[in-house]
Amino acid sequence: MIVGFDYGSSNCAMGVMGEQGVKLISLEAERTYLPSTLYAQHNALVVDYVAKQLQNRNATEATLYCESRANTLNSLPAIRRDLGLSQSESGLAIGSAAISEYIDFPEEGYFVKSPKSFFGAVGLKAQQIAFFEDIATAMIMQIKQRAEHQLRQALTHTVIGRPVNFQAIGGEQSNQQATDILTVAAKRAGFLEVDFLFEPLAAGIDYETSLSEDKKVLVVDIGGGTSDCSFVQMGPSYRGKSVREQDFLSHSGKRIGGNDLDIALSFHKLMPLCGLGSQLKSGLPMPNQPFWQACKINDLQLQTDFYSSSNSRALESMLRDVGEPQKLARLITVQQQKLGHQIVRQGELGKITLSQEAQFAANLSFIEQGLNQTVSVNELAESIDDSLIQICALAKQAISDANTQPDVIYLTGGSAQSPLLKAKLQQALGDIPMLNGDNFGSVTAGLTKWAEQIFR
């Protein structure tokens, strides 16, 4: 069976073609969107899960995989014994269950949000690439199994959405590394054929279905990890073609998305409670770096540095030299209890709430009882202004590269509904008609329609 698969930075979704068009598949508790998160009581349990799933399906592939992960697998009996896990317990969760496990046990286990954000990272070693393959494989295996249970059919062919660029740096080498990781993972999960499509193009293909006349469309897709623009000729004259390269006038993309807006708000408006902006007793300002590291949950190296034992010692030493030690003590709590994701979650909730309301009360009681911070719409605008400017620059670049003006701007993605973004785009691009698609479903629908076209 053929599916479109949005393995997104914020959420994952799958779609199939039904009698009434695209149907999104329920992936957890009758919801069609599953948060892109994974939690394991120990990172070796990710490898264990993949190995067991392969052994149940393909003995030859399982043997090759187990040989490549022999050192990790040899350590599992002791790890399971220490954790008190039986052989029937995976110790692994994805989606909302992973978030719940992390909130309940932040100091224990391994938690990753938006793993796709790391796949194109520059300078990854072979061991790190292998581990990201394992994370993606474990997630795709579970998602595929849930979808097959719903559909009562095996999924064999898929088109997976991808950003124009996985990283701001690294170029095509980063893009190839990321698509290789996803291809390996999808095939280990049991897909026989795997193809990719730019996410903004997928959203555009979904929008094209509704057009009664040809238009030049600038698709602006604000995803969780990236912002991408595709300038496409669409309409009845183009619809149904399986080769569309000549219709794609330009692309632009950058690794800046909804997660970065959450991080920016968290850093600028929540980190001052943990000492950002404070002074040392010498009168010099506190360095910004540890506060940025705490919030930058989509940067593997910065997170590793923040949670390192050497940083723990540095923060404890700094405690004696700051003018407001009670604030820095909160940052030490964040570091020791691994609370960075929870802080950025409050930033995300603030971004969502402030798209409709004037104020948001961030609840930081997980750091210190009774700790909270009120954030206004104006403060959100100040915090994310630089990110919005970069997104507008991508849209202007796509228009410039296409060397023509769009008839319409089609906005999609989780952060595309932000009034601040729309106002900034209008200021940068002028009075081009602008409309919102299904902020979460357009990409999945387009991937599903494209998959049907190329695999049928």
Which tens digit of pLDDT belongs to each residue from 81-112? 999 999 899 999 999 999 899 888 877 889 99
Say whether both 64 and 141 belong to one domain. Answer: yes
Query: CA nearest 91: which of 41, 137, 46?
Result: 41
How far are the Cα atoms of 284, 289, 306, 448 from residue 321, in angstroms, in the given order?
A: 10, 16, 19, 58
Both structure tokens of 197 = 């499509």
Say whether both 266 and 219 belong to one domain. Answer: no
Torsional sign, CA 358, 364, 369, 372: negative
Residue 453 lies in a domain: no
Residue 207 lies in a domain: no
In the predicted model, what is the mean pLDDT of residues 223-228? Answer: 87
Residue 450 lies in a domain: no
Higher pLDDT, 258 or 240: 258
Residue 22 lies in a domain: yes
DSSP E strand boundaries for 301-366: 359-363
Alpha helices for 267-324 (secondary structure H): 289-295, 300-306, 309-318
Q: Which pLDDT tens digit goes with each residue over 422-437?
A: 999 999 999 999 988 7
In this prediction, residue 114 carries a pLDDT of 87
DSSP 8-state symbol, 373: E
User: Does 60 score more than 80 pLDDT?
Assistant: yes
Residue 5, classed as helix, strand or coil, is strand
Tokens 């600028």 -> residue: 268
Tokens 């719940």 -> residue: 100
Residue 446 lies in a domain: no
User: Does 20 score more than 80 pLDDT?
Assistant: yes
| Mean pLDDT taken over the chain | 93
User: Does 390 score more than 80 pLDDT?
Assistant: yes
In contact, 280 and 323? CB cutoff 8 Å? yes
In this prediction, residue 30 carries a pLDDT of 86
Q: Which pLDDT tens digit goes with each residue over 1-11?
A: 999 999 998 89
Per the structure, the count of domains in the chain is: 3
Range of weakest confidence among 262-276, 387-401, 403-417: 403-417
Both structure tokens of 313 = 């010692």
Q: Burial-class residue 238 by CB neighbours within 10 Å (0-12, 13-18, 19+).
A: middle
Tokens 């050192």 -> residue: 71
Query: Can you tell me the distance from the alpha carbon of 32 to that of 328, in angstroms, rounded to the nearest whole number?
Result: 41
Query: Can you tell me the distance from the alpha carbon of 200 to that of 240, in angstroms, rounded to the nearest whole number?
Result: 18
pTM (two decimals): 0.82
Q: What is the 3-state secondary structure (H, E, C) of 64-97?
A: HHHHHCHHHHHCHHHHHHHHCCCCCCCCEEECHH
For residue 264, what are the domain limits? Answer: 259-383
Query: Can you tell me the distance from the alpha carbon of 381 to that of 266, in angstroms, rounded to the nearest whole number?
Result: 13
Higher pLDDT, 371 or 418: 371
Q: Which amino acid is at 330?
A: R
Residue 204 lies in a domain: no
In the predicted model, what is the mean pLDDT of residues 126-136? Answer: 96
User: Does 167 score more than 70 pLDDT?
Assistant: yes
The packing angle between helices 126-151 and 171-188, to 10°, is 50
Residue 451 lies in a domain: no
Say whether both 291 and 194 belong to one domain. Answer: no
In contact, 331 and 365? CB cutoff 8 Å? no
Range of weakest confidence among 179-193, 239-253, 339-353: 239-253
In the predicted model, what is the mean pLDDT of residues 388-413? Answer: 95
In contact, 455 and 2? CB cutoff 8 Å? yes
Q: Which pLDDT tens digit goes with each residue over 277-287?
A: 999 988 899 99
Say whether both 172 and 217 belong to one domain. Answer: no
Q: Which residues pair with 6 in a beta bridge?
A: 13
Say whether both 224 and 277 belong to one domain. Answer: no
Say whether both 57 and 165 belong to one domain. Answer: yes
Q: Which pLDDT tens digit goes with each residue over 338-389?
A: 999 999 999 999 999 999 999 999 999 999 999 999 999 999 999 999 999 9
A 10 A CB-CB count for 112 gives 23
If pLDDT is split at 50, 70 and 90, which confidence band does 226 have?
confident
Most confident range (mean pLDDT) of 67-76, 205-214, 239-248 is 67-76
Q: Which pLDDT tens digit goes with each residue over 300-326?
A: 789 989 999 999 999 999 998 999 999
In contact, 213 and 238? CB cutoff 8 Å? no
Higher pLDDT, 276 or 167: 276
In the predicted model, what is the mean pLDDT of residues 409-421? Answer: 88
Q: Phi and psi (nearest 5°) for 13?
A: -150, 150
Say whether both 109 and 148 belong to one domain. Answer: yes
